[in-house]
A and B are shown apart, each in its own frame.
Chain A
Amino acid sequence: MLSDATILDISSWDGTISPSEFIAAAHAFAEKWKLRCRGLPIWSWICCRKTPFISSHEVDGYLSLEKLCILRSDKMEDHGIDDAGKEGLNCSENEECTDSAVLVHESCLEVHYYDLHVVYSSSYRVPVIYFRGYRSDGQPLVMDDIEKDIPANSAKVLMESKWTFMTEQEHPYLKWPWYTLHPCGTNEFMRLLFLIDVSLLEDRVAAEQYLTSWLSVVGQVAGLKVPLQMVDSTPPLTTS
């Protein structure tokens, strides 16, 4: 059940969300993900309450999904095989055993891991994605590697729109360099997105849905494919 605090009013909306909306959305999103996206790594809320500037009305943490693995094949890419082969390969570490069998046989597949954090920006009043990639031996991926991991279709969309560009910035909580997409166009993008969809949403949209839609676009840059179950409004099947 959503409280009023997590419902956005579309008609006079500038595409931003408040700290409390973000917190509520993040928790609802993580919960839904856990129920509907079995087999994928889970999102957890990392609490940073010990920092001295955190007061009760501010966001006291961020969402984190770690060790998302992407299989990439240089050969497939070289031969120009379409992206279908590369997409849908998100899996959690638990499933890695099956994949490593593939590695042994074909030896052209390499596993890349990604850590994704969703941090609230109080300047821009929108969520911001921070991520890093690394190989199985822990060696970090550089910008070129990351760009190659993005499915070509997504890369085109991401690189063409001027509101997303990848830079290396300091992670606001961890203070190390992480990759990020600049948030200055996020509110405008989200406003347009929900204006188009307004008929479906009856003028009000849950902040959790905001997070899902946003992440389905920006998550691609770190290899995240938001499963369709996340957008489906019917209740999940409760299979054991």
Chain B
Amino acid sequence: MERGTEAQKYVWEGAIPLQIHLHESEVTTLPPPPPVMILAPRIGYLPLLAPQIKPLFSSALPPGADTVWFDYKGLPLKWYIPTGALFDLLCAEPERPWNLTVHFRGYPANILIPCEGEEAVKWSFINSLKEAAYIINGNCKNIMNMSQSDQVELWRSVLNGSLDVFLRVSSKLKLGALEDEYAAKLNPSLKKSKSCVGNIENSGLNKTGRVPVRLYIRIVSEDFDDLENAPEVDSWEKVSYINRPIEIPKGEGKYLSLGDAMKTLMPEYFGNKSLDCEEGVDQEVEEIAYPEDARGKNNAEEEVASTAAGEHPALGCQARNNEVKLVRVHGIEPKLEIPFSWVVNNLLNPDYFLHLCVCVKSSPSG
């Protein structure tokens, strides 16, 4: 029987309180329908909320066919990005409840890829999973050959947020975890228990040493002291995102921290200065304040403190005119010194991608 780590449980239970308003152009009744309050799972996708929301607005809608989509302050939200990643990316200072506008008409087909209900979301998820499998195993046979019933069960586990079911079905996909030798070093007894190494034993280790990462980058040109003053994202032009595998170096004694991984993704921003690599591995392991620190912040009720999580002494560092303002995964702002393997084994989305949000300041004068 597969058991998730404590952090995985927090990730799966994570939810964002939404307050959803019907767009004024679609209101045909007086008084207009009141906004709907709903908890949106972080690992879920916005269109999946439609069955719950629609009945509450349907009487106010004009006649016509429905295609649901959402916007935040006028920015159409890309439904194929997990809700938690959207929130981390677009709300530098978390807004609770998160005020979104729902539309059932006028789908912006030039901006968003079509979404015809749950089936489209499911295929987008499976495609993403397939890509992750390819990165991890060098092929996606295990996904292609998944039985119909496993496929249904896997998707339902994502819909229902049931981690146990997900772990049971996904273990058949052999998308192994990373070896977490630092956890073992820290406490040798952990090697035998499953609590820290997740589902390594049944699924085998990651063979290619490649980890699927989806990186979201917000670029701001003006500086701000407080996250509250961060400029709004009014266009997708101001955001970059890309799927980019991270290669885990092989061999003894090669320690890869989250910061090292970020450096391979964005060398211009996470330059050498951003991490103090002079310290020995042992000392770094000690300093990790192992998962406790990150885990404590990842509260299911989204009470992630925007302050204490990381003082980020490293983040103040500048490479030319570039500056990293924020690194966020599932609402946590993890310290860059924590082992990348821990991040991967605990904070993946169900599509096996690590969805990382970064906010950077880039001066045009560079």
- Known contacts A51-B240, A55-B268, A184-B134; A122 and B113 CB within 8 A of each other: no
Residues of A contacting B240 in the complex (Cβ-Cβ under 8 angstroms) = 51-53
Chain B residue total in the interface (Cβ 8 A):
36
Q: Is the CB of A53 within 8 A of B217?
A: yes
Residues of A contacting B215 in the complex (Cβ-Cβ under 8 angstroms) = 53
Residues of A contacting B195 in the complex (Cβ-Cβ under 8 angstroms) = none
A183 to B16 alpha-carbon distance, docked (Å): 34
Please encode chain A, from 163 to 188, with 1 for each CB lying within 8 Å of some chain B CB and 0 for all others: 00000111010011100001010001
Q: Is the CB of B114 within 8 A of A168?
A: yes
Q: Is the CB of A177 within 8 A of B268?
A: no
Q: Is the CB of B134 within 8 A of A14?
A: no
Which of A51, A55, A124, A177 contacts B114 (CB under 8 A)? A177
Please encode chain B, from 335 to 366, with 1 for each CB lying within 8 Å of some chain A CB and 0 for all others: 00000000000000000000000001010000
Q: Is the CB of A123 within 8 A of B131?
A: yes
A67 to B113 alpha-carbon distance, docked (Å): 23
A87 to B362 alpha-carbon distance, docked (Å): 49
Which of B114, B236, B362 contacts A52 (CB under 8 A)? B362
Q: Is the CB of B243 within 8 A of A122?
A: yes
Q: Is the CB of B110 within 8 A of A177?
A: yes
Q: Is the CB of A53 within 8 A of B236?
A: no
A53 to B267 alpha-carbon distance, docked (Å): 8
Nearest to B113 among chain A residues (CB) is: A177
A209 to chain B, nearest CB (A): 23
Residues of A contacting B267 in the complex (Cβ-Cβ under 8 angstroms) = 55
Asked whether any CB of chain A lies closer than 8 Å to the CB of B73, the reply is no
Q: Is the CB of A123 within 8 A of B212?
A: yes
A123 to B236 alpha-carbon distance, docked (Å): 23
29 A-B pairs whose Cβ atoms sit less than 8 Å apart in the complex: A51-B242, A52-B217, A52-B240, A52-B266, A52-B269, A52-B322, A52-B360, A53-B240, A53-B242, A55-B264, A55-B266, A122-B245, A123-B131, A123-B135, A123-B212, A169-B113, A170-B78, A170-B113, A172-B242, A176-B110, A177-B109, A177-B110, A177-B112, A177-B113, A177-B114, A182-B127, A184-B130, A184-B131, A188-B139
